[in-house]
Amino acid sequence: MVVSRYLVLKNYSELDTDALALLGFKGEDLGSVYSDVNEYLGGLLTRVAELGDFKGELREEEVITLYSVREGGPRRVILVGGGELGSADYEVLRMYAGYAVSRARSLGIKKLGIALRVVNNDPKSSLRALAEGAELANYAFSKYRKDVKLLDEVVVVGREPIEGSDEVLKEVSVIGEAYRLARDLANTPPEEANPDTLEEVIKEVFKDLPNTRVKVLKEKDLRREGLNGIIAVGKGSERRPRLVIIEYRGGGSKWYALVGKGVCFDSGGINLKRSKWITDMKFDKAGAMAVLATTYAVAKLKLPINLVALLPLVENMPSGSAIKPGDIIRMYNGLTVEVVTTDAEGRLILADSIAYAVRNYRPEFIIDLATLTGSIVVALGNQAAGLFSNDEGLAKLIEEAAKESGERVWRMPLWREYFDDIKSEVADIKNLGYERVAGAQAGAAFLAKFTEGTKWAHLDIAGTAWTQDEGPKKPYYPKGATGYGIRLLINLLKKLH
């Protein structure tokens, strides 16, 4: 829990942190906005504004080091720009906190104060956004490194009491814990995070959580059930495929289902990936890890819903026993699939999992998260996930939750012509459309064939699941896995009761 408390403070000399972060917008007189801080600093903010050293531009950062002998209070001030004041929203607050924490970490600071700025006249939501940005930014994958610098504590400082602030920070702490879980597992290389080891990790995570149950369908169970898509993708690896099912019973009779793509390493199989892409393929399990972490958070927060998470865990490897181009698979729901390429494997394991959820849980809706296609990265970059859905109401719920969380989605078309792209001459459907033509839509159309009329949404997170080299970065997404989708899903699931 990095954000420890919300502190109402009038005299900043009493703030026992190593640094204080302030948010300034373009054209603002910082000395007036933070008059109490300015007075404590002996008018320093006024002089900074007069000199033009800080302009309040979005993503701007400035550090002021105080060398005076004044007793008490922070010794550094971190100024962060918010851009135009009129366009300020909760995402600006998350970014502000993210920049402040990142800069404090780089300076070796252990205890940071962040001054709260309220947007939309909503102090409670502003506090939540600020705390989220701080929690998410105070992370590094440190399993194999000793030089990682993290903050010990963040104190959010405000001028007025906020009703329910303790509850907000407790919930954000759980969400931060969920992100660390998802990021750590997605960042872990395949030798240590594979179908065998992840099964044990998942069991351990949910061992002491009430109202939860973990069930694992191993290879003999998959064969008995007819989950041949999962078997086909995983049969080239020495580590055998499985379907991990996590049930959380929070109340009521309705079920909601989440499905996450869990390809622990994707070599591409016989259709081996280019070396440019293959080094990132430990992240091909990011969808499953986000679903796992979301379910963990739902159970910790004791949401009054029933949730089932389905995590097909496989390694897609080339070997003498691997699936081959031209093979035909009879899937769980009876549809036959022609394998055009073994590097379109994620949709095979997701399709079986979706069909299994439909028939065994009859959920109100299914949402899947998957690093499914490079095509969605071409379309949207790393700024949004592609949203496909067969139901307008569910799509709107996701769009609203995405806007609140700052985890963007962009609605993509799923017209009937895209279903023509996956027609096969030798099977019911094929696992690839036309090369370099609407690849993300073909993947979504494939999955839609397995929903059997159930409300469903597919989030293609290939561009957002880990930090890409191209494009602007969010300051609360450190290098590596982002955990994208957890807050989006929690926001949505909280509204179901």
CATH (domain of 47): 3.40.220.10
Q: What is the pLDDT of residue 494?
A: 96
* Residue that finishes a domain, picked among 133, 159, 185: 159
Q: What is the pLDDT of residue 67?
A: 61
**Confidence label for 74 from pLDDT (cuts 50, 70 and 90):** confident
pLDDT, the chain, mean: 94
196 domain residue, yes or no = yes
Q: Which residues are catalytic?
A: 273, 347
Mean pLDDT value of segment 182-207: 97
Q: Which residues of 433-461 are buried (b: 16+ CB within 10 A; e: fewer)?
A: beeeebbbbbbbbbbbbbbeebbbbbbbb
* Residue that finishes a domain, picked among 159, 186, 201: 159
Same domain, 147 and 182: no
169 domain residue, yes or no = no
Mean pLDDT value of segment 199-222: 97
**Confidence label for 11 from pLDDT (cuts 50, 70 and 90):** confident
* Residue that finishes a domain, picked among 130, 159, 188: 159
Same domain, 122 and 206: no
| pLDDT(70) > 60 | no
Please state, in angstroms and rounded to a whole number, the distance separating the CA atoms of residues 23 and 387: 33
Q: Which residue matches tokens 């459309």?
A: 433
Range of the domain at 112: 3-159
Q: What is the pLDDT of residue 71?
A: 64
Same domain, 183 and 69: no
Q: What is the pLDDT of residue 69?
A: 45
End-to-end CA separation in angstroms for the chain: 27
Element containing residue 21 per DSSP (H, E)? strand 19-24
Q: What is the pLDDT of residue 1?
A: 61
Q: Number of folded domains in the chain?
A: 2
Same domain, 306 and 445: yes
164 domain residue, yes or no = no
**Confidence label for 68 from pLDDT (cuts 50, 70 and 90):** low
Q: What is the pLDDT of residue 16?
A: 86
Is residue 32 within 8 A of residue 45, CB to CB? The reply is: no
Largest alpha-carbon pair distance within the chain? 81
Same domain, 189 and 322: yes
Digit-coded pLDDT (tens) for 153-169: 999 999 899 999 999 99
| pLDDT(58) > 90 | no
170 domain residue, yes or no = no
Same domain, 259 and 392: yes
Digit-coded pLDDT (tens) for 323-352: 999 999 999 999 999 999 999 999 999 999
Mean pLDDT value of segment 70-77: 76
CATH (domain of 309): 3.40.630.10
Same domain, 221 and 272: yes
397 domain residue, yes or no = yes
226 Cβ partners below 8 Å, 6+ apart?
Answer: 330, 331, 332
Same domain, 413 and 274: yes
167 domain residue, yes or no = no
Q: What is the pLDDT of residue 39?
A: 84
Mean pLDDT value of segment 274-287: 92
| pLDDT(380) > 70 | yes
271 domain residue, yes or no = yes
Please state, in angstroms and rounded to a whole number, the distance separating the CA atoms of residues 267 and 410: 28
Same domain, 324 and 461: yes
| pLDDT(41) > 90 | no
Same domain, 201 and 310: yes
Q: What is the pLDDT of residue 176?
A: 96
Mean pLDDT value of segment 118-136: 96
| pLDDT(66) > 80 | no
171 domain residue, yes or no = no
Digit-coded pLDDT (tens) for 416-453: 999 999 999 999 999 999 988 999 999 999 999 999 99
| pLDDT(127) > 70 | yes
Same domain, 262 and 236: yes
pTM higher than 0.75: yes
Residue (of 207, 214, 245, 443) closest to 345 by Cα position: 443
Q: Per-residue DSSP letters for 315-340?
A: EE--STTS--TT-EEE-TTS-EEE-S
Mean pLDDT value of segment 225-245: 98
Same domain, 307 and 422: yes
- In the chain, the percentage of residues whose pLDDT exceeds 70 is 98
